Amino acid sequence: MEMVATSRPANWFLAFYRSALGKKTVMALTGIVLFGFVFMHMAGNLKIFMGAEAFNHYAEFLRAAGEPILPHGVGLWMFRLVLLTCVALHITAATQLTLQNRRARPIAYKCLDPVQLGYAERTMRWSGYLMGIYIIYHLLHFTVGTAHRDFIAVNPYHNVISAFQFWPVAAVYIVANLLLGMHLYHGLWSLFQTLGCNHPRYNPWRRVFAVTFSIVVTAGFLSVPIAVLSGLVS
Ligand code: HEM
């Protein structure tokens, strides 16, 4: 890890970012923001069980965020900008870390099981690629509407129900959200390690936390396509 001692904060930050720990810290901090979004989005989606009015009202409430201080839609765009910046930083740091690790491969890991590390690293990488493809499809499907067969701009309830009544679309969402669960589990587990919270006494709690939150988020997301497929909501 090449850390350069310097008094200028910008230089210190760049030197830190060049190290593996610096990139992992950026991934951990942006991961916390993205996890926060995913959790809130999952909780918001559960409004679908309260009917069309509650669900559509919630979507409208998000579009009106920041009003009357900000003009209509500006709050939502500011939020999107933060989210996009976090996604870009998360992907850039992950890609650079992978390349850096590949170059340093001959150096053995001191205290980690290389088989396990390789498995977690590989899982995170390919689930990350698939999440990227899924999010692009998801935005074209429910936000832009071009990937939806019967999109009505102001009626997200209709868009979700009519989409998941077609089982192949529901299946894509079910598989993608299971992948998200895996990605979240590994992410939440390694996040604490990166941020220095990996004392053996707390590790069982770290695992309980990572398992519980990834299961809650995955189950919440999966409940929507499953409820539509089974006719529970229509
Ligand atoms: C079954 C699972 C999901 C359902 C039913 C669902 C539903 C929706 C709907 C209806 C919208 C559009 C809301 C509107 O009209 O403004 C939306 C937007 C969005 N969703 Fe999902 N979603 C799911 C899972 C996910 C996951 C797992 C992610 C990310 C990992 C995600 C990321 C987003 C993003 C980034 C937006 C755009 C927000 C914006 O800027 O307007 N969604 N989702």
Rounded CA-CA distance 109/112 in Å is 6
Cα 127 to averaged position of ligand 1 atoms, centre (Å):
18
- The mean pLDDT value of the chain amounts to 89
Least confidently predicted of 106-115, 116-125, 159-168, 206-215: 106-115
Q: Is the per-residue pLDDT at 64 higher than 80?
A: yes
Rounded CA-CA distance 63/45 in Å is 15
Residue whose CA lies nearest to ligand 1 atom number 1: 221
107 inside domain: yes
* Residue, of 11 and 112, whose pLDDT is higher: 11
Average pLDDT estimate for 66-95: 93
Q: pLDDT tier at 109 (50, 70, 90 boundaries)?
A: low
Cα 207 to averaged position of ligand 1 atoms, centre (Å):
27
The ligand 1 atom at the shortest distance from the C-alpha of residue 164 is 5
2 inside domain: no
CA angle 190, 194, 199 (to 5 degrees): 85
The ligand 1 atom at the shortest distance from the C-alpha of residue 83 is 35
Cα 25 to averaged position of ligand 1 atoms, centre (Å):
26
pLDDT > 70 in the chain, percent = 91
Least confidently predicted of 4-8, 185-189, 191-195, 217-221: 4-8
Residue whose CA lies nearest to ligand 1 atom number 23: 221
Rounded CA-CA distance 198/186 in Å is 14
1 inside domain: no
Q: pLDDT tier at 153 (50, 70, 90 boundaries)?
A: very high
77 inside domain: yes
Q: What is the pLDDT of residue 1?
A: 47
Instruction: List all residues whose CB is within 6 A of at least one atom of ligand 1.
Output: 38, 41, 45, 59, 80, 135, 138-139, 142-143, 156, 159-160, 173, 177, 180, 221, 224-225
Q: pLDDT tier at 10 (50, 70, 90 boundaries)?
A: confident
136 inside domain: yes
Average pLDDT estimate for 217-228: 98
* Residue, of 194 and 147, whose pLDDT is higher: 147
DSSP assigned state of 12: H
Cα 176 to averaged position of ligand 1 atoms, centre (Å):
12
From the CB of residue 61, how many other CB atoms can be counted at a distance below 10 Å? 11
The ligand 1 atom at the shortest distance from the C-alpha of residue 62 is 16
Q: Is the per-residue pLDDT at 3 higher than 80?
A: no
45 inside domain: yes
CATH classification at residue 75:
1.20.1300.10
Q: What is the model's pTM?
A: 0.88
Residue whose CA lies nearest to ligand 1 atom number 16: 59
3 inside domain: no
Average pLDDT estimate for 118-143: 90
Average pLDDT estimate for 171-183: 96
Tokens of 166: 């077609």
Average pLDDT estimate for 49-68: 91
To test ligand 1's pocket by mutation, which of 38, 39, 138, 216 has the most ligand atoms within 8 angstroms of CB?
138
Least confidently predicted of 12-26, 72-86, 116-130, 148-162: 116-130
The ligand 1 atom at the shortest distance from the C-alpha of residue 174 is 1
The ligand 1 atom at the shortest distance from the C-alpha of residue 177 is 27
DSSP assigned state of 225: H
The ligand 1 atom at the shortest distance from the C-alpha of residue 180 is 27
Number of domains in the chain: 1
4 inside domain: no
Q: Domain residues for 116? A: 9-229
Q: Is the per-residue pLDDT at 41 higher than 90?
A: yes
CA angle 153, 133, 209 (to 5 degrees): 95
